[in-house]
């Protein structure tokens, strides 16, 4: 039986990928009480890594799409953390977004909106969250965006 959140994802034409495996010596998520902490998810989609530098070879629209891909991976990790029952997700508490950008790029918040807007589209008010959106001189594997998240569960 498909839950409410997965039904909403299907309505949006989104299928969660398999949760990405960690690339080093860390865990992809940790549960502590009613909180799931998800490690940074890098921008990747069905066609592979979404790479590039904002302000150089990517514009805000492309960056927002990369951030949306990170949010999809975050939900995939939460689903695994919750034993497959995504409807145990109560709300998104915090996102921290890192944008691979040039020193003069100032639209990090507009890039991370790609993740924030997607989570609200999927979860409604439960998707509204606190967040940080910061620039990085580079990110792992040259990806455009990396986002970590904190989620409240039931």
Q: What is the pLDDT of residue 1?
A: 53
pTM: 0.97
Range of the domain at 44: 4-11+30-153
Q: pLDDT of 38-68, one tens digit each? A: 999 999 999 999 999 999 999 999 999 999 9
Q: How far apart are the first and last CA of the chain?
A: 19
The CATH number of the domain where 83 resides is what? 3.30.1330.40
- Within-domain flag for 19: no
Is residue 144 classed as helix, strand or coil in its secondary structure?
A: coil
Which residues are within 8 A (CB) of 66 and not within 5 positions of it... i.e. 6 or more apart?
A: 43, 50, 58, 111, 114, 143, 144, 145
Q: What domain count does the chain have?
A: 1
């Amino acid at each position: 039986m498909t839950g409410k959140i997965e039904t909403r994802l299907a309505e949006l034409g989104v299928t969660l990928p398999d949760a990405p495996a960690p690339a080093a010596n860390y865990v992809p998520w940790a549960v502590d009480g009613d909180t799931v902490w998800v490690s940074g998810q890098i921008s990747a989609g069905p066609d592979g890594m979404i790479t590039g530098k904002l302000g150089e070879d990517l514009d805000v629209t492309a960056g927002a799409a990369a951030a949306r891909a990170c949010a999809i991976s975050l939900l995939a990790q939460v689903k695994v953390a919750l034993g497959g029952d995504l409807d145990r997700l109560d709300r998104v508490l915090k996102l921290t977004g890192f944008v691979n950008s040039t020193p003069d790029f100032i639209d990090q918040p507009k890039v991370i909106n790609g993740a924030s807007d997607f989570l609200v589209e999927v979860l409604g008010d439960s998707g509204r969250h606190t967040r940080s959106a910061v620039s990085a001189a580079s990110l792992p594997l040259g990806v455009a965006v990396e986002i970590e998240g904190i989620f409240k569960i039931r």
